[in-house]
Chain A
């Protein structure tokens, strides 16, 4: 692996000097729940970002399940 893994706070403050996140990754409790979990996240983020009605999401949720 060509990767270095560090605490996200360290990379944010010491290297990038920015506050936002590149992405969020998570794992569903099981493979067959991944689709439902993705829908759940979408609705949580829509509330969080105050997106209502037919407005476009300002994020994307991808599920590999």
Chain B
């Protein structure tokens, strides 16, 4: 009975001082919820930074020719011609821990459309390149394996290239 009495007294006190009760409750609620919110914000930003970093492709592996010696002369990477399409095929068929793989040949040049031109780097890749870099096509579509086999004259343009070659918003497609 003693405990029940305590509750009765407490309840009476609450009813007598309604404003004071309300203010006390408000204080507790604001305090607790702000702590919870802070923790949640911390957790959330941690997650989003993590996903941004993995989007940059932290599981990416690059294979470059080079570091070879030819008759005592160390060759620079760009002058080496040691990587071939056979190597690509070998890795593709034998490697077990690889999800996507693409060859990469690049060349720098000026792209021209009408009176506009812009310096660009041109990357020759296969369709899996998009998955590796985790980029997506905004408009149009990625070329296919068929285009690769046919040496098709197709290309995806970067945003800066489009803005500079088609400044008046003409359709590039």
Contacts and interface: CB of A to CB of B under 8 A. Distances in A.
Most buried by A among B63, B64, B77, B119: B63
Nearest to A31: B59
B159 interface: yes
B81 A20 contact: yes
Contact of A23 (B63, B86, B151): B63
A60 B105 contact: no
A27 B100 contact: yes
A31 B66 CA distance: 25
Contact of B124 (A10, A26, A28): A10
Contacts of A26: 60-61, 63, 91, 95, 98-102, 132
Nearest to A26: B101
Interface residues of A, number: 51
Contacts of A25: 60-63, 101-102, 104, 129, 132
A49 B105 contact: no
Contacts of B105: 8, 11-12, 16, 21-22
Contacts, number: 249
A38 B77 CA distance: 19
Given A21-B104, A23-B64, A6 B155 contact: yes
Contact of B123 (A11, A27, A33, A58): A11
B155 A5 contact: yes
Contacts of A44: 90-91, 94-95
Interface in B116-145: 118-126, 129, 131-132, 143
Interface string A29-64: 111011011101100110011000000111111111
Contact of A14 (B54, B95, B153): B153
A45 B161 contact: no
Interface string B35-66: 00000000000000000001001111111111
B87 A45 contact: yes
Most buried by B among A8, A12, A34: A8
B148 interface: yes
Contact of B104 (A22, A30, A57): A22
A10 to B, nearest CB: 5
B154 interface: yes
